[in-house]
Amino acid sequence: MSRMLQTLYFACYAVAAIAIAFAVPRYLPDAGTLSALLSGAVVFLAGALAHEFAVRRHNASRDLHRLILLHRAHVRLRDDFEQLVTVVSDYAEAVDTEGRADPTKNAEVSATPVAIAESVRAPMPRGPAAMSPQEETPDGLAAEVKILHDLVQRLYESPDALDGGPRRIENPKVDLVRDALRQNRFDLYGRPIVTLPQRKQRFFDCVPHVLSPEGVPVPPDRYADAVREQGLATAFENMLLFRSVQRIHALRSDDPTVGYLCHATPRSLSDRGFIADLLAYHREDGSSGGLAIGVTEKDLVDLDEDALESLDRIARAGVPLCLRRPKKLDMDAARLHEHGFRMVQVDASVLMAAVPHELEAERMRLLKRAMDRAEIDLIVERIDDEQKLVELLDFNIDFGLGSLFGEVQKLESAAEAGADNPVARNAADGA
């Protein structure tokens, strides 16, 4: 409870006590001065007791909420520890297998505990980017080849070619981006999303970029209009999302404790066949997990039936959804949870606007508690200084995003050179 509100409470019962002390002699002439003072004192003490009760109840509720947050942080740390134990076990088994094949090498590794510690920080040998084609599961490879073939074919054919068969589209700007995506000239950038107040990196907010033949990122305004005019916006956005998921699988091979938040467009979500293929690929790949899909509030309210069904399919596949940039925090947290949303990403200005107004701030705290009960995390973006962070922490936010925690960076995997495996690349080139 803020000092301003406590001061208001104190002023109310103090004024009431003084008023009673002056009113008693006026309306009860037989009552003496002592009786008036005692009446005022009784009112003041009653108000003070009610004030103390309200403060204690508020503090108890706040402490309970903090305990819930600490429990959730404990669960996250426990999960991280279990994942690290699994990684160490995998490497210990690999070292043991290699040691049986070469006893002298095993003796050397056993004699240097530092080598095992270093191996934990090495890339995990899982996922399509870290495997040779012979090591991949047939189902995962088949899903990757199928989706690449379909996407490349759609990128290179006109959507309105019906009677004359597929018709290739000639446009230099369109050729630039579709060739880049086909040949995997593509970079994934991300800004760190950290836990608060610990500031431990938990996710990356991902932004994809296509590259020119010289390896330079191409600004979207150079090709967006041309792609849209040619009727290829859906195919382009689908390919961009698929390439992002491919790269995320390679990144997860290096660090399975970090997640990646990608943003899906309404056009991609409305393509139910593409979403089904994407989820099949994500499910079959050995390094699946760690992917979250975000959709803006503006897009969500305008989604068609196919897109809404795709969102439901994504949620049922175990991929958490994130509601991005709601203009007001007046949402139904329980209903969001039912539809698969596990995160809400808001601009810091939405919360900062409530800081000077106690009643509005308390409403925000109540909403945050409802989100906690519904197991929905609150991500606050555009946190750029410590003072803003201090004020925002009063709302018990879960994650922070902004220049205070790290700039946008290129997300590179130790196995990035092989992120697009040869068999899938051949399938794309042959489409």
For residue 131, is it within any domain? no
Taking the alpha carbons of 339, 342, 348, 353 in that order, is the dihedral positive or negative? positive
User: Quick one: 286 and 332 in the same domain?
Assistant: yes
User: Quick one: 413 and 295 in the same domain?
Assistant: yes
For residue 132, is it within any domain? no
Residues 231-255: pLDDT tens digits?
A: 889 999 999 999 999 899 888 877 8
- One-letter amino acid identity for 235? A
Please measure the distance between the N-terminal and C-terminal CA atoms of the chain and give it in whole angstroms.
64
Q: Is residue 339 a contact partner of residue 312, using CB atoms and an 8 Å limit?
A: yes
Number of structural domains in the chain = 2
User: Quick one: 99 and 195 in the same domain?
Assistant: no
For residue 127, is it within any domain? no
Please say which residue of 93, 122, 151 terminates a domain. Answer: 122
Please say which residue of 91, 122, 153 terminates a domain. Answer: 122
User: Quick one: 158 and 87 in the same domain?
Assistant: no
pLDDT by residue, tens only, the chain of 431 residues: 667 777 887 888 888 888 887 777 777 777 777 777 888 788 888 888 888 888 888 777 777 766 776 676 677 667 667 766 776 776 677 666 665 555 544 444 333 333 323 333 333 333 333 333 333 444 556 667 778 888 888 877 755 443 444 455 567 778 888 788 888 888 999 999 999 988 999 999 999 999 988 888 888 888 888 888 888 899 999 999 999 998 998 888 778 889 999 999 999 999 999 999 999 888 877 556 789 999 999 999 989 999 999 999 999 999 999 999 998 888 899 999 999 999 999 999 999 988 888 888 888 889 999 999 999 999 999 999 999 999 898 898 999 999 999 999 999 865 454 444 443 444 444 44
User: Quick one: 88 and 166 in the same domain?
Assistant: no
Instruction: Identify the CATH number of the domain in which residue 274 sits.
Output: 3.20.20.450
User: Quick one: 90 and 162 in the same domain?
Assistant: no
User: Quick one: 288 and 153 in the same domain?
Assistant: yes
Mention every residue, 6+ apart, whose C-beta is less than 8 A from residue 243. Answer: 181, 184, 186, 208
Please say which residue of 89, 122, 155 terminates a domain. Answer: 122
For residue 128, is it within any domain? no
Q: Is residue 192 a contact partner of residue 401, using CB atoms and an 8 Å limit?
A: yes
Long-range contacts of 335-341 (CB under 8 A, 24+ apart): 336/374, 336/376, 337/374, 337/375, 337/376, 339/311, 339/312, 339/315, 340/311, 340/312, 340/314, 340/315, 340/316, 341/315, 341/376
Residues of the domain holding 35 = 1-122
Task: Give Cα 210 to chain centroid, integer Å.
Answer: 23
